[in-house]
Amino acid sequence: MLTISEQLKTIILTLLILLSFVFTFLLWYHVYFFEGTQKDYINFAQREKNLQTSKIICPAFIVLHKKQNTDKMFLHKSKEYTKVLDFIQTLKITSLPYNTDLNYWSYLHDNFLGIEFRYIYNMPFSIFLPLFKEQTINFSKIPKSFLINNFWLYFDNAKNEWILLLPSFKEKKIICLKLKSNNIQSIENLTQQNLIALDVKPIPLKEYLPWEKKNNNFYFNPYSYTFLKNPPFSTKRYFVKKLNIDNLKQTLFQGSESKPITLNKNETIFLGDNQIINYNKNQEFLTFSNTDIEDEKDLNNNEEENKDIELEKITIFIQKHKGWTRDYILEKYNKEEKIYTFRQINTLPIFWVKDSKIPVINLQIEKGEIIKYTRSLYYLGEELGKNNSSKLIPLETLISKLKRGGNKSLELKNAIPCFKVIEETKNNKKIATLVVSWLFVTNKKAFCLN
């Protein structure tokens, strides 16, 4: 029979074993990835919880077009912006794609309520399908070369139906789809007068707007929006933090890890089971490669219909190591190399002047699996109190300046408001200042100008 002291020792030993299991679980599933404050970690982790794919493919901004009224711009994550995204989740595609022309676009634009979803670069429409309730669509009538950087929703009052209009300025073609929703009343609330939105007007990037009939013709020209009242934007300042490489690789590696290989003082390679991490300490940049790829038997042969599956895998993959540091949106998709690029957004898309790689995440897909993942370990930490505000130079002024520059081969493809990041170091701490600017996308490059 055990003595009281032996029984006590047994109880303590059992408790210690249980505690070891608890701490192992916490370390495995709740690794502290951030070299920042605990508050940072909790906020980011909570934001990522149950993140939906539709949240990372949402537009840079949304524009409400009201017939014979001022257009309204809804910025990312504003109340009106969120309301519109929630609404289109109720829309169901009810027709096959059909071709139309600029004359029909002009008719819709002149007569009905319109909602525009605007992106930075051209992408296949199949990428945006998770935004809608009905994601099945016959792609046979939509050529793979048909790329868009915006799409429109119009409500045809006469027919009591929604029209989804997809204009491809590259192909100079328009494709339409019909949609239905049982929630018409909710979108009508957006036409009320007390909207929290910015007044804007469309301006052509080349001569005329596409829905305007000039010289008895319509012109398939790109366009953008300028602010009517030139509103001030807060100049935000943040401490620059970085992710912890040691904890990141614990989650990225799915098996055992061998001894790291030091190539030089700034570059180290970590090897896992069919997985490699190349870490650049000088630039704080990571490249994760996965060679353990098998054929996905459950994927159908139409790669356009697999975009929602790929995006869902990307969402979950980055969630696992809490890599969505603040908010990101899909910026572009390279269909040849199957690379998805996500850009950080904080009301407006963020562009880093000193190092363009910092606010961007790239993921490459092959056979339905992620084979490469690249990103900076830097991210925006806590905000530094109240800041000043700044205004944009009118877009028309900058467009005129670019046209007077004498570079006739330069073609403007898009222009959107953004935040330009200026980095500085104070007391050995990196500080990022976000200043409002214009992003110009041309046939040669993209650049910020203000």
Q: What is the DSSP string of 75-124?
A: ETT-HHHHHHHHHHTT-EE-S--EEE-HHHHHHHHHHS-EEEEEEEEEEE
Beta-bridge mates of residue 388 = none
Q: What is the mean pLDDT of residues 243-255?
A: 83
Give the per-residue pLDDT at 294: 64
Q: Where are the domains of the chain?
A: 60-232
DSSP label of 375:
E
- Cβ distance 20 to 13 under 8 Å? no
Residue 149 · residue 414 · CB < 8 Å? yes
Rounded-to-integer distance, Cα 31 and Cα 419, Å: 31
pLDDT at 357 over 80: no
User: For the chain, how big is the Rg over CA atoms in Å?
Assistant: 25
**Which candidate, 379, 385, 448, places its Cα nearest to that of 420?**
448
> Could you tell me the pLDDT band of residue 7, with boundaries at 50, 70 and 90?
low
Is residue 380 scored above 60 in pLDDT? yes
Q: Which of 342, 354, 279, 281 is nearest to 310 (CA)?
A: 342
Structure token pair of residue 54: 């539709």
Helix (H, G, I), strand (E, B) or coil at 435: strand
pLDDT category at 204 given cuts 50, 70, 90 is very high
**Residue with the two structure tokens 């696992």:** 320
Taking residues 56-62, report their average pLDDT: 94
Predicted TM-score (pTM) of this structure: 0.85
**Is residue 405 scored above 80 in pLDDT?**
no
- Joined together, the tokens standing for residue 81 give 């912006």
pLDDT band at 208 (very low <50, low <70, confident <90, very high): very high
User: Given a cut of 70, is residue 399 above it in pLDDT?
Assistant: yes
User: Closest Cα to residue 399, out of 385, 389, 386, 413?
Assistant: 413
pLDDT bracket for residue 12 (50, 70, 90): low
For the chain, the farthest-separated pair of C-alpha atoms sits apart, in whole angstroms, at 105
Distances (CA, A) of 31 to 52, 131, 268, 279: 22, 32, 22, 19
**Looking at residue 119, what is its pLDDT?**
96
Q: What is the DSSP letter of 354?
A: S
Give yes or no for residue 421 having a pLDDT over 60: yes
Q: Which pLDDT does position 309 carry in this prediction?
A: 86
Model confidence at 45, in pLDDT bands (50, 70, 90)? Answer: very low
Give the residue with greater pLDDT, 181 vs 287.
287
The pLDDT score that the predictor gives to residue 427 is 87
pLDDT score of 196: 78
Across the range 236-261, mean pLDDT stands at 84
User: Tokens in use for 126?
Assistant: 């199949």
Task: Match 């990225």 to its residue by tokens.
Answer: 252
What span, in angstroms and rounded, lies between the C-alpha atoms of 184 and 276?
51
Dist. CA 437–CA 442, nearest whole Å: 16
DSSP state for residue 229 in the 8-state scheme: S
HSE at residue 417, side-chain half, CA atoms within 13 A, is 27
Contact 64, 71 (CB under 8 A): yes
